[in-house]
Structure 1
């Protein structure tokens, strides 16, 4: 397989992961659904937001040929994104952090776990 096709497959899978939680969001918020406690609703909305941020960061990495998207692990908790893994250079690490900070909803970025192979 060639590299552009692999990136397309990863981008498609990421988009699928991004849209999956949204497909169920209307069911939880419909008028026919039982009333939910506010804390439960806030937690569910936060999880969707964190999932959306994680998917958006990953898809941004895939779209940028200067980043080793498959080598960077992305986790989001309450808007704080943690990056880990091994990248080729400090410049790639800095680019990953900059791209992540540019995503809507990201409150902070921790790249302590993202190491440079240099």
Structure 2
């Protein structure tokens, strides 16, 4: 009975170590490709499935993040449903998601005179 428990514990520990290794490799790949990706993307791995979350600026960056994660050996599947892309309206001024609010008002295109 004890031998079975030890094997089960050993297998679980091996899976956790392998998942941690995959997470580290994915984060490293993101940071090497573009330091901002490594900072803004959260990576979790469970049984070889890599879950990506956070924000990127473009759909191309989203595809890049998924491709980089997929290129890491040991990755079985990618879950990128929590990986979001900033959406900006034309004419608006992009603001980072965690920017402090300010009372400063920037003139919009409607405020300018047609001279």
Same fold (TM over 0.5): yes
Alignment match, 2:62? 93
Runs of 4+ in 1 over 6 A off after TM superposition: none
Question: Using the alignment, how far apart are the partners of 2:31 and 2:83 within structure 1?
Answer: 17
Structure having the higher Rg: 2
> Residues 43-82 of structure 1: matches in 2 within 5 Å?
43-65=12-34, 68-82=37-51
Question: Using the alignment, how far apart are the partners of 1:65 and 1:76 within structure 2?
Answer: 21
Structure 1: segments with no counterpart, 5+ residues: 1-34
What is the TM-score of this pair, normalised by structure 2?
0.69
For residues 60-115 of structure 1, the C-alpha deviation after alignment (integer angstroms, 9 at most, x for no partner) is 11101286211100000000000000101110000000111110000000000000
What is the TM-score of this pair, normalised by structure 1?
0.67
Matched, 1:109 2:85: no
RMSD of Structure 2 on Structure 1 (CA): 1.5
Between Structure 1 and Structure 2, how many residues are aligned? 84
Larger helix share, 1 or 2: 1
CA contact (8 A) 1:50 1:77 kept: yes
